[in-house]
Structure 1
């Protein structure tokens, strides 16, 4: 019997859990792209609940289905674009699949191949819940050219393919930002609970960016995030847990590991420097923390990254 409310760090993990083929997914980096028709879904297909720790875009040229997040159910139709980010538990159902391209990527990939300031440039990536949007033929054709080029690079053998994909993905983001979110301000979206979640995500991102750039030296605690929104810590914790399915401690831990991985991939920064950048007092403490959450040490992770290049 499959575990309910499964938490997945990658599409590879999710498809394994759902007993779906994983041969289309390259696990070398936190990125994937393919046409869902290639997966071989037995239609109609209904997934079990899961919570992703990765971002995804769906480009539905010809197909139909729906996504459910919390109490919201969204129908996806031909010529629609749909975006989700690491947040709440959800399910998906596919009724028809002819040409539906799925792109997934994690935060480490974004910061490594696009920009460490990714969420400043594209704040819509922090949007909590987004409805699928049917787009004009002209716009769909313009993004189709980009994602098909990304797919071509993904299945290619260039030693620089992920750098190329990063640049093309940024082009796709700019097109989507201009079409959907030119004047997007997450603070004004949704109800009060959604605003609290979005503000927390933004502050979390900004605080860790300040830590890594040495603008601040102290890691925020729950009460610091609560004070920033003039909320009681218990109330903030309750809202974050109920709306995202994750505790604030989990959000902080995942953010710390994400930043640590990005810093470890920069070989010019010593592990001792990374230790202090992330607010740890000793390298041994950082190493134990990293191993607890990843199963490997910072030294071994850096070595594996170096050997894979």
Structure 2
């Protein structure tokens, strides 16, 4: 990794693991048992991004998973969900491992026709906490969905892709229902008045994922959405509880930390790669948001 944090496609994952079940290069599922020896290098040993979502429920074995530079200990019955653009690194402990896992491309996800409006509070919560512990009976409920999806993927039905999309949508709704039992604020029963605002917020996050390395101006994102900066800022704050500027800074700092920690780029190279006018400006920006200079942060790692 000489420059930026690597991206990995589902196509590449299928190429590396030809036995995985799936549909084209948009959808992969796996629930096979693996033995991990001491010297094995799994796909996500080094920080990577997937253009899609990752859903994984651990059934055997333990792991340390780094999501957006935050470390989580993953044990039996732990669910993790990574959103598109998240930085993922996973270190598996030696031994037997079994997880129920889906990798779903952004394009496939868009065609699933789930009500993203009702899921928006859940999406915002995932940014703060992508890990959830499930009860054994909840894991079994999700296993029944998994088996039905797996059977469908293995058949040659005329409408297989459409059936899998609908079943996968039901699987996501089931996860939402399970999590809603514990924290009702995750999912809104009646989305009503915020629908338009939530759609705009989702578009903002997509734009931010694509442009945050080069654009830190609130008015840039407002222009892309054909909104005035004032109205745009009001919408983002209303939906997410954070200002547009806070979201932008969060994405930029996460990227900068990842590059300083994992790449071989110098501080000067990171500053230019992130479109700062000079290393001094980058250093002041980084220290303002983290309390450390880039060199101090790099030394800590």
Q: Give the deviation of 1:142 after TM superposition.
A: 0.8
Q: Distance in 2 between matches of 1:201 and 1:6?
A: 30
Match of residue 107 from structure 1: 106
Conserved? CA contact 1:79–1:137, under 8 Å: yes
Shift of 1:99: 2.3
* Aligned CA distance change for structure 1 residues 11 and 75 (closer, same or farther; 3 Å): farther
Matching residue of 2:249: 238
What TM-score results when the alignment is normalised by the length of structure 2? Answer: 0.59
Contact 2:23 2:161 in 1 (8 A): no
Of the candidates 13, 26, 30, which is equivalent to residue 30 of structure 1? 26
SS of the aligned residue for 2:62 comes to strand
Cα gap change, 1:29 to 1:6, in 2 (>3 Å): closer
TM-superposed CA distance for 1:221, in Å, is 6.4
| CA apart distance, 1:36 | 4.8
Q: Which residue of 2 aligns with 1:205?
A: 202
Number of residue pairs the alignment of both structures matches: 218
Counterpart-to-counterpart distance in 2, 1:152 and 1:60: 21
- Aligned to 1:120, which of 117, 122, 130? 117
Q: Is the 8 A contact 1:35 1:101 kept in 2?
A: yes
C-alpha RMSD of the superposition: 3.7
- The answer on whether the counterparts of 1:4 and 1:49 sit within 8 Å (CA) in structure 2 is no
Q: Which residue of 1 aligns with 2:72?
A: 74
Partner SS for 1:184: helix
Pairs within 5 Å for 1:34-73? 34-37=30-33, 42-43=37-38, 45=41, 47-73=45-71
- In the alignment, the residues of structure 2 paired with residue 129 and residue 66 of structure 1 have an alpha-carbon distance, to the nearest angstrom, of 17
Alignment of 1:13-28 (within 5 A): 13=12, 20-24=16-20, 26=22, 28=24
Residue 220 of structure 1 is matched in structure 2 by: 225
Q: Is the 8 A contact 1:58 1:102 kept in 2?
A: yes
Relative distance call for 1:67 and 1:222 in structure 2 (3 A) is farther
CA distance in 1 between partners of 2:137 and 2:54 (Å): 22
The match for 2:271 is: none
Note if contact 1:52-1:87 (Cα within 8 Å) is conserved in structure 2.
yes
Matched, 1:146 2:145: yes
Distance 2:69 2:13 in 1: 22
In 2, are the aligned partners of 1:75 and 1:132 still within 8 Å (CA)?
no
Check the 8 A contact 2:49/2:85 in 1, yes or no. yes
Q: Is the Cα–Cα contact under 8 Å of residues 117 and 198 in structure 2 kept in the other structure?
A: no
Unaligned ranges ≥5, structure 1: 187-199, 209-217, 246-309
Counterparts of 2:60 and 2:5, CA distance in 1: 29
Unaligned runs of 5+ in 2: 188-196, 206-222, 257-301
CA distance 1:244–1:175, shift in 2 (3 Å): farther
Q: 1:5/1:30 Cα in 2 relative to 1: closer, same or farther (>3 Å)?
A: same
TM-score, L = length of structure 1: 0.58
State the Cα distance separating 1:204 from its structure 2 match.
3.9
